[in-house]
Amino acid sequence: MTLRRIVVVGNGIAGLTACDSLRSAGFDGELTVVGAERHHPYSRPALSKALLHGDDGKSDGALRAHELPPPTHEATELLGVSATGLDVDARLVSLDGGGELPYDGLVIASGSRAKRLASWQSGGPQPEGTSRELTLRSIEDAVALKERVSDRPSVIVVGGGPLGMEVASGCLHMGCDVTLVSDATPLSRQLGDHLAGIFTSAAIGSGLRVVGGGKARLVDRGDSATVVLADGTELEADLVVTAIGDEPNIDWLAGSPLLTDGSLRVDSRGRLRPDIVAAGDVAFFPTLRGVERVPLWTSAIDQARVAAVGLLQGDAAPEFNFQPYFWTEGFGLSLKAVGFTPVAGAPDYCEPGGESGSALLRWDNPDGSGTAAALNYRIPIPRLRRLADAGPAALRPNAPARV
CATH code reported for the domain at 115-245: 3.50.50.60
Buried b (16+ CB within 10 A) or exposed e, 160-177: bbbbbbbbbbbbbbbebb
**Which one has a higher pLDDT value, 255 or 168?**
168
User: What per-residue confidence (pLDDT) applies to 148?
Assistant: 92
> Tens digit of pLDDT for each residue in 364-387?
999 899 999 999 999 999 999 999
d(CA 17, CA 385): 22
Q: Say if residues 295 and 281 touch (Cβ distance below 8 Å).
A: yes
> Tens digit of pLDDT for each residue in 167-214?
999 999 999 999 999 989 999 999 999 999 999 999 999 999 999 977
Burial class (CB in 10 A: 0-12, 13-18, 19+), 225: buried
Q: Find all residues with CB under 8 Å of 316, minimum gap 6, and list them.
A: none
The mean per-residue pLDDT over the stretch 237-263 comes to 94
User: What's the mean pLDDT when you consider all of the chain?
Assistant: 90
Would you say residue 126 has pLDDT above 50? no
The CATH 3.50.50.60 domain(s) of the chain lie at 5-111+249-316, 115-245
User: Global pTM?
Assistant: 0.91
Q: Is 40 helix (H, G, I), strand (E, B) or coil?
A: coil
DSSP per residue, 291-323: EE----HHHHHHHHHHHHHHHHHGGGSPPP---
> Tens digit of pLDDT for each residue in 282-318?
999 999 889 999 999 999 999 999 999 999 999 999 9
Out of 1.10.760.10, 2.60.120.10, 3.30.1360.70, 3.50.50.60, the CATH code matching 5-111+249-316 is 3.50.50.60
Q: Find all residues with CB under 8 Å of 395, minimum gap 6, and list them.
A: 351, 360, 383, 386, 387
